Amino acid sequence: MSGQTWRRALVTGGAGFVGSHLCGRLLDTGSDVVCLDNLATGSRSNVAGLQQRDGFRFVRGDATDPAAWQELPGRFDLVLHFACPASPADYLRLPLETLEVGSTGTRHALERAHADGARFVLASTSEVYGDPLEHPQRETYWGNVNPTGPRSVYDESKRFAEALVTAHRQVNGTDTAIVRIFNTYGPRMRIGDGRAVPAFISQALDGMPLTVAGDGSQTRSLCYVDDTVGGVLALAASGEPGPVNIGGGEEITMLDLARRIVEVTGSSSRIRFVERPVDDPGRRRPDTRLAQERLGWQPRVDWTEGLKRTIGWFSRTVAA
């Protein structure tokens, strides 16, 4: 993976889970970083430590609002567009905002990247594959998405954003890339965001039953956040347009994930099965050969270490 440093980078959604880790990694490599976030789902606490560092600036603003972009003077040479509610609890609570940031927000970010001559990276998602009929999912797979289902506000927002990025690259020659991020876990996930890892960990730490949807046979392939960030920046440093899958290689059922978390936390919690959400994908695992061949990227943090780090962070956060 390239060790390229950007002089000045913009991260929309930079106070979110993955976005804040991106901001930190960019600062570590010597870039000045501007974080644009409306805090609809992000948190100032995620970037509190970064605000003490030289070269970091937080701007509270909405990527869909033209006035917010006027608060960002100077030129960027990297624009990472990560602004978007990403958990089911959030995008179901903010459906119109989710669609708007995928459309208008993406357009504003693209226009700024083009005007600045910057490299642009769109944070897309494995959700563009829907409930996949191909397994594992390759970047060439078109997906199996319900366009009017409850998850469609997120799925279709990202699918439209991908189309918009592709059109800007073809029509305007903007230097763009698309990364399709699969399920990511790690410190700074919100306990109540509705995703499995924070829900299971918080329940286990509290001694509460772990709520597994359906019979727990549905699978995911989770990737530790440090590895996800490494993949995003490897794509940014390359000339690849994408889309490129970035995700974990080990497929695990949700029931097995719950059992692992109980084991690692030493909890006495039991498993409780609850109703499975509509259009919840049955199986999900990325084909990451493209990332390995073109970017030299592969996950490095194994499950045992990743869960220990994540559980340790949650333990300290809950205790505080």
What would the pLDDT profile of 59-97 be if each residue is shown by its tens digit? Answer: 999 999 999 999 998 999 999 999 999 998 899 999 999
Q: Is the pLDDT of residue 15 over 90?
A: yes
Residue 6 C-beta-side C-alpha neighbours within 13 Å: 27
Return the pLDDT at 4.
77
Residue 1 has pLDDT above 80, yes or no: no
Model confidence over 291-311: pLDDT tens digits?
A: 999 999 999 999 889 999 999
Instruction: Provide the CB-side half-sphere exposure for 54 (13 A, CA).
Output: 2
Domain assignment present for 63:
yes
The arithmetic mean of pLDDT across residues 148-152, rounded, is 92
Kindly state whether residue 156 falls inside one of the protein's structural domains. yes
Active-site hit among 91, 129, 154, 185: 154
The CATH number for 239's domain is 3.40.50.720
pLDDT for the residue 30: 96
Assigned domain for 227 exists: yes
Which residues constitute the domain of residue 52?
8-185+223-248+280-300
For the chain, the domain total comes to 1
- Tell me what the pLDDT averaged over the chain comes to: 94
Place of tokens 């799925």: 155
For the question of residue 185 being annotated catalytic, the response is no
Residue 10 φ then ψ, to 5°: -115, 130
In a domain, 147, yes or no: yes
Tell the residue number behind the tokens 């045992």, with chain if given.
Answer: 304
State yes or no: cis peptide before 150, omega within 30 of 0.
no
Beta carbons of 288 and 245 less than 8 angstroms apart: yes
Residues 102 and 239: their CA atoms lie apart, in Å, by 23
Determine the pLDDT at residue 3.
Answer: 61
60 bridge partner residues: 37
What's the pLDDT score for residue 320?
A: 53
Its pTM stands at: 0.95
70 within some domain: yes
Q: What is the pLDDT of residues 237-267, one digit of tens each?
A: 999 999 999 999 889 999 999 999 999 999 9
The 8-class DSSP code of residue 295 comes to I
